[in-house]
Amino acid sequence: MSDIEIKVTRYEMMLRTALARAEIVEDQKYSNDFMTMAQSYYEDGIHFQKVDDLINALVCFSYGHGWLDAGIRVGALKSR
C-alpha cells in the first residue's frame, strides 16, 4: 500500500469516527450547516476513493474534519 493510500484510509476512518461522535447543539444557528458540510465532504471523499482519485479523497476527508472541528470550536456541535 502506498503512502497516499495509507493516509486516505486513515483520514477516512478518522472522519467517519468523528461524524459518529458529533452531535448538534440545539438552538445554535448553524449547527445543521456544520454537520451537513462535514457529511457532504465525507460522501465526496468516498466517491473519489472509489474512482481512485486519492488526492481529492484526502482533501475531502480533511475538509470534512475541519468543518467538524470548526463547529465544535464555535459551539454549534459537540463530541461525545
pLDDT in tens, 31-41: 999 999 999 99
Each residue of 24-68: pLDDT tens digit? 998 888 999 999 999 999 999 999 999 999 999 999 999 999 999
Tell me how far apart the alpha carbons of residues 39 and 5 are, in angstroms, rounded to a whole number. 21
Instruction: Give residue 76's pLDDT band: very low, low, confident or very high (50, 70, 90).
Output: very high
Distance of alpha carbon 42 from alpha carbon 56, whole angstroms: 11
Q: Give residue 28's pLDDT.
A: 85
Q: Indicate the helix (H) or strand (E) that contains 79.
A: strand 77-79
Domain range for residue 56? 3-79
Which ranges constitute the DSSP H helices of the chain? 3-21, 31-50, 54-73
Total number of domains in the chain: 1
Longest Cα–Cα distance of the chain, Å, equals 45
Q: Over the Cα atoms of the chain, what is R_g?
A: 13
CATH code, domain carrying 11: 1.20.1270.90
